[in-house]
A = this chain, B = another copy of it.
Amino acid sequence: MQEIQIGILGLGTVGSGVIQILTQNAEDITNRTNSHINIKKVLVRDIQTPRSVSGSFTLTDKPKDILEDPDIDIVVEVMGGIEPARTYILEALHQGKNVVTANKDLLALYGHELLDVAKEVGKDLYFEASVAGGIPIIAALKQSLAANRISTVVGVINGTTNYILTAMAEQGRDYDEVLGEAQKLGYAEADPSSDVDGLDAARKLAILSSIAFNSRVTINDVHVDGISRITADDIAYASELNSCIKLLAIAKHQQDGLEIRVHPAIIPKSHPLASVGGVYNAIYVIGDAIGETMFFGRGAGSLPTGSAVVSDIIQVTRNIESKSTATINCTCYNDLPLKKSDNFNTAFYIRLRVKDEPRVLATLALLFAEANVSFASIIQKQKGNKEAEIVLLTHPIYEGQLREALESVKAYSKVLAVNNVIRFEGN
């Protein structure tokens, strides 16, 4: 039986999950690979810190103990962050090791560079865990849906924001309050900006888009907008419109290029992603042959993310065994143009505070009509002393039309405030 030696860089949440799964399911994994996978060394910051996982592996605080160990076949990078992870992975590849990583930050910026080096040295670089935890969306796009031209990828791929928006909707509470609670429970970080500002989802979407459309997309190409301006009022109005609010990651291959965006969106309750609550993730894909398909599961956590990492380790082990590493590398054979947000065509939800006087709604409708904007739904409610709140749901329009309409609306003396503008995504 073949013996595969692995070295793990990092022993945080994901690293501990990887060790737990490899230990607990060792017998099945051996049967599934015809190989014995042995954890030889684990890189940690401080070898004195007490650890919750144990095994026959050696702890080290010197990267080269792993990167330069000639016995190690697979380096598993679960440290996160750009540096030193990037340098370590490049060094591991140059030392002739296969690499499995869960690092979305790195892949979203330097995926192409790393995949090119892996190809050059004939080794595998697998990264299923970098997007949507245990959900096998990367394998699906690279292999199981390879017959298709993918037109659309829409995901709920950030658990923190989904937890916050779900709790706001279920409990009618406001953003700051729920965020504070999420931080206490460990669902949001002390500095939550990467999640709530949409950057985490944008990184994952960059990775998914590159694979789905075979064209390089980095985090810098994603149009990003976060959830911090979503209020309990918006969520209540969405509910009146038989809809809910999700942070969506949307990638579309259209005639005029790729449309890649992350933002809060109002979606009908009948939308396949509407029922994805709490810390779950789901990714909805449309391909020309398969039609609509969806993948659902836990998007984060020690064991779900560990599931993706260990399944990658198993696949790389099979590749080592059959001498077929580096079979699937970078497949960005297209160079598709990126659409600017001016050219995104979506419906909008617009919430306005106005004076509650006759003809205000009629005037507003005229101002919008001048920018060629018409409405699918209107809600008007009296608010306090001679004021009203109006919620408008437009038909699909371009951002330019929205801007033009909002300018004349803001200049109209009866409009007290434009409280919020949120994109609306139909089915």
For residues 287 through 303 of chain A, which have their beta carbon under 8 Å from a beta carbon of chain B? 287-298, 301, 303
Decide yes or no: A289 and B21 within 8 Å by CB, A143-B315, A294-B297, A295-B295 being known contacts.
Answer: yes
How far does the alpha carbon of A287 sit from the alpha carbon of B272 in the complex, in Å?
23
Decide yes or no whether A128 CB sits under 8 A from chain B: yes
Please name all residues of chain B whose beta carbon is closer than 8 Å to the beta carbon of A63 when the two chains form the complex.
none
Please name all residues of chain B whose beta carbon is closer than 8 Å to the beta carbon of A331 when the two chains form the complex.
31-32
Please name all residues of chain B whose beta carbon is closer than 8 Å to the beta carbon of A310 when the two chains form the complex.
146-147, 289
Decide yes or no whether A24 CB sits under 8 A from chain B: yes
Copies of chain A in the complex: 2
Most buried by B among A148, A304, A318, A333: A148
- Interface flags for A128-142 (1: CB within 8 Å of B; 0: not) read 100001111001100
Please name all residues of chain B whose beta carbon is closer than 8 Å to the beta carbon of A307 when the two chains form the complex.
145, 147-148, 287, 289-290
Tell which of A229-237, A238-246, A319-327 binds the partner. A319-327
A-B contact pairs, 23 of them (CB 8 A): A17-B289, A25-B289, A32-B214, A134-B290, A134-B291, A136-B143, A136-B144, A139-B139, A139-B143, A143-B311, A143-B314, A144-B308, A145-B311, A146-B315, A147-B309, A272-B296, A289-B307, A290-B297, A291-B298, A293-B296, A294-B297, A296-B296, A323-B323
Decide yes or no: A306 and B147 within 8 Å by CB, A31-B333, A297-B292 being known contacts.
Answer: yes
Decide yes or no: A288 and B24 within 8 Å by CB, A321-B327, A331-B31 being known contacts.
Answer: yes
A149 & B293 in contact (Cβ 8 Å cutoff): no
Decide yes or no: A294 and B291 within 8 Å by CB, A144-B311, A307-B145, A323-B323 being known contacts.
Answer: no
B314 & A324 in contact (Cβ 8 Å cutoff): no
- Least Cβ distance of A306 to chain B in Å? 6
A289 & B318 in contact (Cβ 8 Å cutoff): no
Decide yes or no whether A178 CB sits under 8 A from chain B: no
Q: Which residue of chain B has its CB nearest to the CB of A325? A: B322
A contacts with B, residue count (CB < 8 A) = 59
Decide yes or no whether A275 CB sits under 8 A from chain B: yes
Most buried by B among A146, A295, A309, A323: A146
Contact among B24, B128, B147 with A314 in the assembled complex (CB-CB below 8 Å): B147
- Least Cβ distance of A166 to chain B in Å? 14
Decide yes or no whether A28 CB sits under 8 A from chain B: yes
Q: Which residue of chain B has its CB nearest to the CB of A309? A: B147
Decide yes or no: A32 and B135 within 8 Å by CB, A290-B304, A297-B292, A327-B321 being known contacts.
Answer: no
